[in-house]
């Protein structure tokens, strides 16, 4: 008898808006993986964001930090709530919980893969010949730059200030991760910056140029961020690994999500010194909350990345295959197909059925549409 697999503890932070709904589907998929491969995952729930502010006063309570630090990995939904956005006098905001979590857990690298699905090319605003062969990954620095620099505003409300700072160490540590990943891919790395104007960007260029000497097999290039925004739409297939600072990475990854067909499809991993965190790149999408229409794939693929980070490659692969199958067969949510769409929970159920070989070749779409059991 092989040794039983050790229990893996996963901190689960559903957060706000559609966070709990998409996380719920990810947990169903993880449960299916556990059953299929004989693992045991222990979920430990924690609060973050608006939900946490309402019950504890803090957007990232210390109990949640503790829970994260003592788990093998973290699965996170989303934060954000319009009642805070529309209140300029709010002292604490849900998003602060996200930033505190990133900082306190030392999650300095955010990795956002952008894959395109030929079955969705026709839904993209781009012509499908532009999307062909697009497969890129963004390494976004996550705990530095303008997000974490000094902030001020004058008492009379006439000026405000945000500062952007980077150190060589901060650039090198994410740089090494990005170069190592490039070695396993098409061996191309593009640093995106604004070195024609910003001092911090010039430091990035100099530091990455030096670091690139340690990776002679990787073809390294640099691009200004304004041009990169255009190139991502004109010729996305030219990119392999993109490396960039915090705010440029935030903006470019939303832009790049259009290539995939929807923001709702994209997963991400944030890694650092302790346990890693996995989250979809989308936000809390308050307009969709409770309607069972959110796309759970970004979160489900984040759960697959979580499994990969723990060395469970075959398990992750089975999730990815189920996702490919659902997309290829048009089992998609409203963000992708506003006419013939399926509900969040139906997609989760279908993926679980597929993973346990319970979906027939001739799946009865009509049954799924009316949300009957997916077992035909
Ligand atoms: C993201 C989000 C966050 C960010 C917000 C909610 C603070 O847009 O994870 O990309 O800008 O980092
Ligand atoms: Mn963002």
State mean pLDDT over 311-333: 96
Mind telling me the catalytic residues? 147, 194, 226, 250, 254
Burial of 253 (0-12, 13-18, 19+ CB in 10 A): buried
pLDDT higher than 80, residue 370: no
Q: 141 CB under 6 A from ligand 1?
A: no
Distance between CA atoms of 87 and 251, rounded to whole angstroms? 24
Q: Do domains 1-117+261-376 and 125-134+142-259 have the same CATH topology?
A: yes
User: Who's near 91: CB < 8 A, 6+ residues apart?
Assistant: none
Judging by DSSP bridges, how do beta strands 135-141 and 109-115 pair with one another? antiparallel
Q: Are 79 and 49 in contact (CB under 8 A)?
A: yes
Residue 248: is its pLDDT beyond 80? yes
Give yes or no for residue 292 CB within 6 A of ligand 1: no
At residue 375, the pLDDT reads 44
DSSP H/E element including 73: strand 73-78
Ligand closest to Cα of 254 equals 2
Q: Which residues contact 37 (CB under 8 A, 6 or more apart)?
A: 312, 314, 315
**For residue 87, what pLDDT is reported?**
81
Per-residue pLDDT at 376: 40
When comparing pLDDT for 317 and 370, which is higher? 317
Least confident of 7-11, 100-104, 296-300, 359-363: 359-363
Residue 32 binned pLDDT confidence (cut-offs 50, 70, 90):
very high
Distance between Cα 212 and ligand 1 center (Å): 29
- Would you say the pTM of this structure is higher than 0.85? yes
Residue 61 CB less than 6 A away from ligand 1:
no
Question: With pLDDT > 90 as the criterion, what percentage of the chain qualifies?
Answer: 84
Which pLDDT belongs to residue 124? 79
State the CB neighbour count (10 A cutoff) for residue 349. Answer: 21
**Res 90 pLDDT > 50:** yes
3 confidence band (pLDDT: 50, 70, 90): low
pLDDT value at 1 more than 60? no
The mean pLDDT value for 129-149 works out to: 96
Q: Does 81 sit in the ligand 1 pocket, CB within 6 Å?
A: no
Q: Measured between alpha carbons, how far is 167 from 123 in angstroms, rounded to an integer?
A: 42
Q: Which of 33-42, 304-313, 366-375 has the lowest mean pLDDT?
A: 366-375
Q: What mean pLDDT comes out for the span 140-166?
A: 97
State residue 89's pLDDT score. Answer: 83
Residue pLDDT, tens place only, 336-355: 989 889 999 999 999 999 99
- Picking from 59-68, 98-107, 113-122, which range would have the lowest pLDDT averaged per residue? 113-122
What is the reported pLDDT for 211?
A: 98
In this structure, which residues have their CB less than 5 angstroms from ion ligand 2?
Answer: 250
98 within ligand 1 shell (Cβ under 6 A)? yes
Using the predicted structure, report yes or no on whether residue 294 has a pLDDT greater than 90: yes
Residue 121 pLDDT class (50, 70, 90 cuts): confident
Which-ligand-closest: CA of 84?
A: 1
- The answer to whether the CB of 49 is under 6 A from ligand 1 is no
Probe ligand 1: pick from 96, 283, 285, 302, max atoms within 8 Å of CB? 283
Q: Which atom of ligand 1 is nearest to the CA of 253?
A: 10
**pLDDT bracket for residue 146 (50, 70, 90):** very high
CA of 254 to the centre of ligand 2 (A): 6
- Indicate if ligand 1 lies below 6 Å from the C-beta of 21: no
Query: What is the mean pLDDT of the segment spanning 264-275?
Result: 95
Q: Whose CA is nearest to atom 6 of ligand 1?
A: 95
Would the pLDDT of 360 be above 80?
no
- Whose C-alpha lies nearest to ligand 1, atom 5? 95
The arithmetic mean of pLDDT across residues 25-29, rounded, is: 98
In this model, does residue 120 exceed pLDDT 90?
A: no
What does the CA dihedral 339, 345, 349, 350 come to, rounded to 10 degrees?
A: 10
Ligand nearest to the Cα of 80, by number: 1
CATH superfamily of 125-134+142-259: Isopropylmalate Dehydrogenase (3.40.718.10)
Q: Which helix (H) or strand (E) holds 55?
A: helix 50-56
> pLDDT, tens digit, for every residue of 178-222?
999 999 999 999 999 999 999 999 999 999 999 999 999 999 999
The structural architecture, per CATH, of the domain 1-117+261-376 is 3-Layer(aba) Sandwich (3.40)
**Is residue 376 within 8 Å of residue 367, measured between CB atoms?**
yes
Percent of the chain with pLDDT over 70: 94
d(CA 290, ligand 1 centre) in Å: 22
- Give residue limits of the domains in the chain: 1-117+261-376, 125-134+142-259
Most ligand 1 atoms within 8 A of CB, residue of 60, 95, 141 to mutate = 95
Q: Give residue 158 CA to ligand 2 midpoint distance, Å.
A: 27
């Amino acid at each position: 008898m092989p040794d039983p697999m050790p229990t893996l503890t996963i901190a689960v932070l559903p957060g706000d808006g559609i966070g709990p709904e998409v996380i719920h589907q990810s947990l169903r998929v993880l449960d299916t993986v556990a059953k299929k491969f004989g693992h045991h995952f222990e979920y430990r729930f924690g609060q973050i964001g608006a939900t946490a502010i309402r019950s504890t006063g803090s957007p990232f309570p210390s109990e949640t930090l503790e829970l994260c630090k003592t788990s093998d990995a973290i699965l996170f939904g989303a934060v954000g709530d319009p009642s805070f956005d529309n209140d300029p006098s709010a002292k604490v905001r849900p998003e602060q919980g996200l930033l505190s979590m990133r900082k306190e857990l030392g999650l300095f690298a955010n990795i956002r893969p952008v894959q395109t699905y030929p079955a969705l090319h026709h839904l993209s605003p781009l012509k499908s010949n532009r999307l062909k062969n697009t497969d890129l990954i963004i390494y976004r620095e996550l705990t530095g730059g303008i997000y974490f620099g000094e902030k001020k505003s004058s008492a009379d409300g006439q000026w405000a200030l945000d500062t952007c700072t980077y150190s060589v160490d901060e650039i090198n540590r994410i740089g090494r991760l990005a170069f190592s990943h490039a070695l396993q891919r098409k061996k191309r790395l593009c640093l995106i910056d604004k070195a024609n104007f910003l001092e911090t960007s010039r430091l990035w260029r100099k530091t990455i140029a030096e670091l690139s000497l340690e990776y002679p097999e990787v073809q390294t290039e640099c691009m200004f961020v304004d041009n990169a925004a255009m190139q991502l739409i004109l010729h996305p297939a030219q990119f392999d690994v993109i490396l960039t600072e915090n705010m440029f990475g935030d903006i470019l990854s939303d832009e790049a999500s259009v290539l995939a067909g929807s923001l709702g499809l994209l997963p991400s991993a944030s890694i650092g010194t302790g346990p890693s965190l996995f989250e979809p790149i989308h936000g809390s999408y308050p307009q969709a909350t409770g309607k069972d229409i959110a796309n759970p794939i970004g979160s489900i693929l984040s759960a697959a990345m979580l499994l990969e980070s723990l060395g469970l490659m075959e398990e992750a692969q089975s999730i990815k295959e189920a996702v490919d199958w659902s997309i290829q067969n048009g089992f998609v949510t409203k963000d992708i197909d506003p006419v013939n769409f399926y509900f969040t929970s139906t997609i989760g159920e279908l993926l679980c059925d597929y993973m346990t070989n319970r979906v027939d070749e001739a799946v009865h779409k009509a049954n799924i549409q009316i949300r009957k059991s997916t077992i035909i």
